[in-house]
């Protein structure tokens, strides 16, 4: 009677082992030989859609079978880096480079971890080690060029991009890198025309020309002339401004305008604006935010307007962006009480197509508000809800058209 239970126990144990042998491969989606032949493709597939849990599980299965597999450990460190575990990834890559100092991929991974922490000098040193091992790899040359560009060494970065093109003449990343090293455009000249059609009066038209000059990274000037036709009468004005930019405080703009008003535009204007941008993360949905504030005075022949505007520009993935602005206008007209009138606008910008330097982008927007700019209170207040859209076609770095 005492033998049967022991035999039953052994049989149960054997059945459990057999079940594990067959169930473990099923749990990772393939038979052992197929799985271990294609596990890197599975990791890449999961990483592409940012399914980090599944990617980590695949690597863990490989490491369970072979804990010292350097390729699997390298992928584990890369997944940590891509999923935001930068400190852990750095520590893992440090171990890997000491255990496999002749593997350029490990040095490249360590450089990527340093770059995520803005430790660019250390990233450059790691890339130097990788290139010493594999001097004919274009991707290493491109990574080194990016580090040099961030360290404000454009000439050295240009040489690295050129070396990458000699290795791989079809590299789009190397070509784009060379284009990015072109010096910033110093002057921007624009011409514009606008026509408004109404059902209660003749067409309103305007033409403008503007010149923006970036003299240094800190100082920018802008000058513009505009001409208006309002169902017969015409007017013109000149606008000028100066912008001072600092890395810590952002940009401060101060300017004004004078006009031959002819009773249809302000005789003079004054304004100032503040804006400051913050980069959040390349991995998050919101990549960066740039809030702004503007204060603008308009002096008409017999009226005074003060407009306060605040808003923000939000940078999103894939070159999308969203902006919103809210304004309050203080109206002071002879014989009328002083009033504050609100308004606001929001706009979504998105890419449509691109090829090389040629890019087509578009935008849609919605605005709403109430105003009372009448010298005689005949209408009372004017309320509007406006939908609009636009596009921008960039032919090359220097020329574009908007509509």
DSSP states of 34-51 as a string?
HHHHHHHHHHHHHHHTT-
* Residue among 266, 264, 286 nearest 277 (CA): 286
Helix (H, G, I), strand (E, B) or coil at 86: helix
Under 8 Å CB-to-CB from 64, ≥6 apart: which residues?
A: none
* Residues in the chain with pLDDT values less than 70: 1-37, 371-382
What local confidence, expressed as pLDDT, does residue 19 receive?
Answer: 39
Q: Quote the CA–CA distance of 180 and 71 in Å, as a whole number.
A: 34
Q: Is the dihedral of CA 369, 374, 380, 386 positive or negative?
A: negative
Burial class (CB in 10 A: 0-12, 13-18, 19+), 24: middle
Q: Quote the CA–CA distance of 372 and 304 in Å, as a whole number.
A: 12
Q: Quote the CA–CA distance of 78 and 46 in Å, as a whole number.
A: 13
CB 113 within 8 A of CB 126: no
Which uninterrupted H or E stretch holds 22?
helix 3-27
Q: Can you tell me which residue has the tokens 């599975």?
A: 42
CB 106 within 8 A of CB 132: no
Q: Quote the CA–CA distance of 233 and 235 in Å, as a whole number.
A: 7
What local confidence, expressed as pLDDT, does residue 37 receive?
Answer: 67
* Residue among 328, 299, 303, 307 nearest 237 (CA): 299
Supply φ then ψ for residue 49, to 5 degrees: -100, 10
What local confidence, expressed as pLDDT, does residue 15 receive?
Answer: 46
Q: Which domains does the chain have, with CATH numbers?
A: 3-180 (1.25.40.10), 192-402 (2.40.160)
Residue 303 DSSP one-character state = -
Q: Quote the CA–CA distance of 27 and 44 in Å, as a whole number.
A: 19
What local confidence, expressed as pLDDT, does residue 35 receive?
Answer: 55
CB 331 within 8 A of CB 339: yes
Cα separations (Å) of 273 from 182, 266, 308? 29, 19, 10
- Does this model's pTM top 0.85? My answer is no
* Residue among 376, 384, 372 nearest 330 (CA): 372
What local confidence, expressed as pLDDT, does residue 191 receive?
Answer: 96
Total Cβ atoms within 10 A of residue 80: 22
What local confidence, expressed as pLDDT, does residue 10 receive?
Answer: 42
Residue 319 DSSP one-character state = G
* Residue among 102, 98, 103, 59 nearest 78 (CA): 59
What local confidence, expressed as pLDDT, does residue 370 receive?
Answer: 74
Helix (H, G, I), strand (E, B) or coil at 19: helix
Total Cβ atoms within 10 A of residue 325: 18
């Amino acid at each position: 009677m005492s033998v049967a239970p022991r035999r039953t126990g052994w049989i149960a144990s054997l059945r459990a082992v057999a079940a594990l042998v067959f169930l473990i491969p099923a749990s990772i989606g393939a038979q052992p030989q197929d799985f271990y032949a294609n596990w890197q493709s599975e990791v890449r597939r999961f990483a592409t859609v940012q399914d980090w849990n599944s990617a980590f599980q695949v690597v863990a299965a490989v490491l369970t079978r072979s804990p010292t597999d350097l390729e699997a450990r390298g992928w584990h460190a890369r997944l940590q880096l891509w999923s935001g575990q930068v400190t852990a990834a750095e520590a893992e890559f440090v171990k890997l480079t000491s255990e496999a100092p002749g593997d350029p991929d490990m040095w490249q991974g360590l450089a990527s971890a340093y770059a995520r922490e803005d430790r660019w000098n250390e990233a450059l040193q790691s890339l130097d080690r990788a290139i010493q091992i594999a001097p004919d790899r274009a991707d290493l040359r491109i990574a080194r060029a990016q580090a040099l560009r961030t360290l404000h060494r454009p000439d050295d970065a240009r040489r690295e991009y050129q070396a990458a093109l000699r290795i791989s003449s079809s590299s789009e990343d190397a070509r784009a890198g060379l284009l990015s090293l072109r010096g910033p455009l110093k002057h921007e000249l624009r011409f514009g025309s606008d026509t408004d059609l109404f059902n209660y009066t003749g067409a309103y038209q305007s033409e403008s020309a503007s010149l923006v000059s970036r003299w240094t990274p800190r100082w920018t000037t802008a000058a513009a002339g505009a001409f208006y036709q309002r169902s017969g009468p015409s007017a013109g004005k000149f606008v000028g401004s100066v912008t001072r930019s600092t890395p810590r405080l952002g940009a401060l703009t101060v300017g004004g305008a004078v006009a031959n008003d002819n009773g249809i535009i302000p005789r003079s204007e004054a304004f100032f604006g503040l804006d400051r941008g913050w980069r959040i993360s390349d991995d998050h949905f919101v990549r960066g935010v740039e809030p702004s504030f503007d204060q603008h005075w308009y002096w008409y022949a017999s009226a005074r307007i003060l407009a306060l505007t605040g808003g923000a520009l939000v940078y999103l993935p894939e070159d999308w962006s969203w902006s919103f602005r809210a304004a309050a206008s203080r109206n002071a007209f002879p014989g009328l009480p002083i009033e504050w009138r609100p308004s606001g606008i929001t706009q979504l910008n998105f890419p449509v197509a691109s090829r090389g330097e040629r890019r087509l982008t578009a935008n849609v927007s919605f605005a709403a508000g109430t105003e009372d700019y009448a010298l005689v209170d005949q209408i009372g207040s004017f309320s509007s809800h406006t939908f609009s859209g636009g596009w921008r076609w960039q032919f090359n770095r220097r020329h574009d058209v908007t509509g």
